[in-house]
């Protein structure tokens, strides 16, 4: 499976239950956004179409790259590329600058699923493989660190959409950060 196919499958797995229009738009925005400047490069696509059907509802959408405005926010760890947002979900590409950390944090309201896009990140104090994904349970502390010299990336889905006050910074547990059990980790490539 290619990285691009894995990213789309990750979206489909974690956007279940949302309306087809939002899912189609999210996929197209992910495909058409300017490729991020991070270690694992992917081709630039200028136009795409996607179609979804569940047997009862069909939806098709076409977009061009020029229809997608660049949306990003600066963060203490780097840049947050905003892929797609709605009240029900937010999709973000977290661009972690060299030697920077997404601080140890947890959520009480949001469900957060993350797909590691770049090889070289440290998650929970250990190297993490590109293509692996986790869905963090409520109040589960997690952090990423980029020890390298290049910007690295994570694709993040928050459900509901991002709630700033639900990004709760926490101290690292004395016992250290624990990864999720293998049954809660999925590989997308």
101-114 mean pLDDT = 95
Helix 3-14 to helix 20-32 angle (10° resolution) is 150
Q: How confident is the model at residue 39 (pLDDT cuts 50, 70, 90)?
A: low
- Mean pLDDT confidence for 140-146: 95
Task: Determine the structural domain holding residue 151 and report its residue range.
Answer: 3-187
Give the bridge partners for 81, in sequence order: 72, 93
Q: Report the CATH number that the domain containing residue 38 is assigned in CATH.
A: 2.60.120.10
When pLDDT is averaged across residues 37-63 and rounded to a whole number, the result is 78
Both ends of the chain: CA-CA distance in Å?
6
Angle at 32 between CA 30 and CA 33, to 5 degrees: 70
Structural tokens at position 47: 């136009």
* Pair of tokens at residue 54: 């569940």
Percentage helix, strand, coil for the chain under 3-state DSSP, each rounded to 5: 20, 35, 45
| Spatial CB neighbours of 65, under 8 Å, sequence gap ≥ 6 | 32, 33, 34, 44, 45, 46, 47
pLDDT at 183 over 90: no
CA distance 121 to 130: 8
Element (H, E) at 101: strand 101-106
SS3 for 67?
helix
Chain center to CA of 50: 20
Q: How sure is the predictor about 36, in pLDDT bands with cuts at 50, 70 and 90?
A: low
Task: Name the domain count of the chain.
Answer: 1
Q: Which range, of 35-44, 87-96, 113-122, averages the lowest pLDDT?
A: 35-44
Q: What is the mean pLDDT of residues 29-52?
A: 77
pLDDT at position 42 is 65
Q: Is the pLDDT of residue 112 over 60?
A: yes
User: Can you give the pLDDT at residue 69?
Assistant: 83
pLDDT of residue 41: 61
State the average pLDDT for the chain: 90
Does residue 40 surpass a pLDDT of 60?
Answer: no
Dist CA 89 CA 1 (whole Å): 25
Query: How much is the average pLDDT of 167-188?
Result: 86
* pLDDT confidence band for 138 (50 / 70 / 90): confident
The pair of structure tokens assigned to 163 is 């709630």
Band the pLDDT of 37: cuts 50, 70, 90. Answer: low
65-83 pLDDT, tens per residue?
888 888 999 999 999 999 9
Asked whether residue 161 carries a pLDDT value surpassing 90, the answer given is yes
């Amino acid at each position: 499976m290619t990285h691009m196919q894995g990213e789309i499958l990750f979206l489909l797995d974690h956007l279940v239950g949302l309306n087809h229009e939002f899912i189609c738009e999210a996929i197209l925005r992910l495909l058409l956004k300017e490729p991020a400047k991070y270690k694992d490069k992917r081709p630039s696509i200028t136009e795409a179409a996607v179609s979804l059907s569940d047997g009862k509802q069909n939806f098709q959408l076409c977009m061009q790259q020029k229809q997608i405005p660049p949306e990003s926010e600066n963060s203490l760890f780097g840049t947050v590329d905003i892929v797609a947002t709605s009240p029900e979900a937010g999709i973000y590409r977290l661009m972690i600058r060299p030697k920077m950390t997404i601080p140890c944090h947890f959520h009480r309201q949001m469900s957060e699923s993350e797909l590691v896009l770049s090889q070289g990140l440290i998650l929970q104090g250990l190297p993490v493989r590109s293509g692996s994904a986790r869905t963090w349970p409520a109040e589960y502390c997690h952090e990423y660190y980029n020890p390298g010299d290049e910007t690295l990336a994570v694709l993040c889905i928050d459900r509901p959409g991002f709630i700033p006050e639900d990004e709760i910074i926490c101290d690292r547990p004395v016992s250290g950060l624990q990864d999720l059990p293998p049954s809660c980790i999925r590989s997308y490539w």
